[in-house]
């Protein structure tokens, strides 16, 4: 029995050593193989995401759309030149009379009563160039141009928001892989030690040195460690797939993550400072502000419907009985159009005013939401930082408890149950410290993105 107890202590000590000094992923890892993968640091991972992720490509395409809308809006200020070619054949008296004049073929015989009332059918080819120059278009073009330029700003804010979200997703997935690697190392080593020592216990049972209940307990423990290893293998594969998805790559892309969750203290200013930074730098809040400006431009454009429209126009044409002959003419003029009564423009103005009120209300709501998000993220960082301290202290205490219990057991002052309990507590505290550090890292990233300042990942990679 004494030999069996010593073997059990060896198994548990091996588990503790594995947790304290986790093994790095090797070629047997379910993650990318060493011969196929590249070492992936956090800055490199973020760079890959910013170059490959579909959401960022979509944001760039949105910017291209508003760029094209601006060019279209600017085009409304330029003159419009149209070319037309028409052919008409008719015996309508008015048409025949006017077409003969246009063609320069009207003569004395065309004044005869019969020719005027019942003329023969006439062909008329009309070639024309028409030019229209807008002088004042009721503020329509300037409104469209201003809104398109504001749309460019909104597209840039959207791109920046996507960039920061991608950085957060990469940080979460990157350190998620590190956590999964550490968990898998613990489970793998524990399973190997349990199987090796289980074989020794079986040999002792076959020689009659231990009872069957001890053998069955060892086999149950081996089965439990195998289950943990299987689960850890699946978790690591899933973690790599999540990382590749965050990078905008296929889930099977090969990488080898380097780095760890070392002890670190992030700089933390006062909460009011983060609130101030958020309202200055949050891309979504800046986008909401441009939405208010855009709605104000729309109100101005609706007011423009109460103003007249002024255009200059000219035309040059050739009319003939065929395409190679005819008589030319031209016209130059200017026009002013004013809608004395149009009920619809009042409705358009009311719609624009209501849209502006909606935009202002949404911006105010977003400001309140941002303040809440910053406050929540700030408190979560404080809590995570304190939990890391507590978890680190618990590890030290568990190590000391393990040392004392082991010494007492070797001198026969306690039972194997106490040793197992102490070993389990030490393993649990080590894992708690790992998870607490992960939550601290992710919490700080959430605080930076809540303040609109997750512009790089150097605080996490250094």
Least confident of 28-42, 194-208, 406-420: 28-42
Residue 432 confidence class, pLDDT cut points 50, 70, 90: confident
Q: With b meaning 16 or more CB within 10 Å and e meaning fewer, what string describes 346-362?
A: eebbeebeebbeebbee
Pairwise CA distance, residues 26 & 234, whole Å: 16
Distance of CA 234 to the CA centre of its chain: 27
Q: What is the pLDDT of residue 318?
A: 92
DSSP 215-279: HHHHHHHHHHHHHHHHHHHHHHHHHHHHHHHHTTS-TT--EEE-------------HHHHHHHHH
Least confident of 11-15, 38-42, 155-159, 165-169: 11-15
Residue 224 has pLDDT above 50, yes or no: yes
- Do 124 and 102 form a contact (C-beta atoms < 8 A)? yes
Cα 167–Cα 178–Cα 392 angle in degrees, nearest 5: 105
Per-residue pLDDT tens digits for 323-379: 888 888 999 999 999 988 888 888 999 999 999 999 999 999 999 999 999 999 999
Residue 121 has pLDDT above 80, yes or no: yes
Pairwise CA distance, residues 102 & 117, whole Å: 19
Residue 211 confidence class, pLDDT cut points 50, 70, 90: low
Question: What domains does the chain contain, in order, with CATH numbers?
Answer: 2-75+141-304+343-461 (1.20.1600.10), 80-140+311-337 (2.20.200)
Q: 47 — phi, psi (to 5°)?
A: -60, -40
Residue 147 confidence class, pLDDT cut points 50, 70, 90: very high
Q: What is the pLDDT of residue 20?
A: 40
Segment 415-432 mean pLDDT = 68
Which run of H or E residues covers position 319? Answer: strand 309-322
Count of beta carbons in the 10 Å neighbourhood of residue 87: 10
Per-residue pLDDT tens digits for 254-312: 888 877 788 888 989 999 999 999 999 999 999 999 999 999 999 999 999 999 999 99
Long-range contacts, stretch 106-109, CB < 8 angstroms, 24+ apart: none
Question: Which of 378, 324, 448, 427 has its CA nearest to residue 18?
Answer: 427
Q: What is the pLDDT of residue 29?
A: 44
- Do 41 and 258 form a contact (C-beta atoms < 8 A)? yes
Residue length, the chain? 462
DSSP 324-342: TEEEEEEEEEEEEE--S--
Segment 171-186 mean pLDDT = 86
- Do 274 and 375 form a contact (C-beta atoms < 8 A)? no
Segment 222-236 mean pLDDT = 82
Question: Which of 418, 421, 401, 396 has its CA nearest to residue 409?
Answer: 418
Which token pair is 104? 């320069």
- Do 291 and 363 form a contact (C-beta atoms < 8 A)? yes
Pairwise CA distance, residues 184 & 198, whole Å: 21
Which run of H or E residues covers position 131? Answer: strand 122-137
Residue 214 has pLDDT above 70, yes or no: no
Residue 1 has pLDDT above 70, yes or no: no
| Mean residue pLDDT across the chain | 84
Of residues 282 and 415, the one with the higher pLDDT is 282
Residue 446 has pLDDT above 90, yes or no: yes
The β-bridge relationship of strands 122-137 and 309-322 is antiparallel
Q: How big is the chain by its Cα radius of gyration, in Å?
A: 40
Segment 126-144 mean pLDDT = 92
């Amino acid at each position: 029995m004494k030999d069996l107890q010593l073997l059990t202590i060896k198994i548990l000590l091996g588990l503790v050593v594995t947790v304290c000094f986790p093994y790095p992923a090797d070629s047997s890892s379910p993650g990318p193989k060493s011969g196929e993968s590249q070492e992936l640091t956090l800055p490199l991972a973020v760079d890959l995401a910013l170059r490959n992720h579909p959401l960022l490509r979509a944001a760039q395409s949105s910017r291209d759309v508003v760029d094209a809308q601006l060019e279209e809006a600017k085009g409304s200020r330029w003159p419009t030149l149209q070319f037309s070619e028409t052919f008409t054949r008719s015996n309508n008296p008015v048409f025949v009379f006017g077409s003969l004049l246009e063609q320069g073929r009207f003569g004395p015989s065309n004044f005869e009563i019969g020719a005027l009332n019942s003329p023969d059918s006439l062909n008329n080819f009309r070639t024309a160039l028409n030019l229209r120059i807008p002088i004042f278009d009721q503020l329509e073009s300037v409104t469209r141009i201003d809104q398109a330029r504001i749309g460019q700003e909104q597209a840039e804010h959207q791109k920046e928001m996507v960039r920061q979200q991608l950085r957060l997703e990469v940080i979460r997935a990157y350190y998620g892989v590190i956590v999964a690697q550490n968990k898998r190392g613990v489970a793998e080593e524990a399973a190997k030690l349990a199987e090796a020592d289980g074989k020794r216990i079986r040999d002792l049972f076959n020689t009659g040195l231990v009872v069957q209940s001890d053998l069955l307990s060892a086999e149950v423990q081996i089965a439990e460690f195998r289950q943990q290893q299987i689960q850890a293998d699946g978790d690591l594969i899933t973690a790599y797939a999540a990382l590749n998805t965050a990078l905008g790559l296929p889930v099977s892309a090969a990488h080898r993550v380097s780095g760890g969750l070392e002890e670190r203290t992030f700089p933390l200013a006062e909460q009011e400072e983060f609130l101030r930074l958020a309202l200055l730098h949050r891309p979504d809040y800046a986008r909401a502000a441009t939405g208010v400006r855009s709605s104000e431009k729309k109100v101005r454009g609706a007011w423009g419907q109460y103003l007249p429209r002024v255009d200059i126009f000219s035309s040059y044409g050739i009319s003939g009985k065929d395409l190679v002959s005819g008589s030319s003419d031209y016209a130059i003029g200017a026009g002013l159009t004013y809608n004395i009564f149009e009920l619809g423009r009042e409705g358009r103005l009311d719609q624009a005013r209501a849209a502006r009120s909606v935009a202002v209300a949404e911006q105010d709501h977003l400001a309140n939401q941002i303040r809440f998000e910053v406050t929540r993220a700030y408190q979560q960082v404080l809590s995570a930082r304190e939990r890391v301290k507590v978890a680190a202290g618990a590890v030290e205490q568990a190590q000391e408890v393990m040392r004392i219990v082991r010494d007492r057991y070797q001198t026969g002052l306690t039972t194997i149950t106490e040793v197992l309990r102490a070993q389990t507590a030490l393993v649990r505290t080590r894992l708690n410290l790992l998870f607490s550090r992960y939550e601290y890292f992710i919490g700080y990233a959430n605080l930076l993105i809540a303040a609109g300042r997750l512009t790089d990942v150097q605080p996490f990679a250094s």
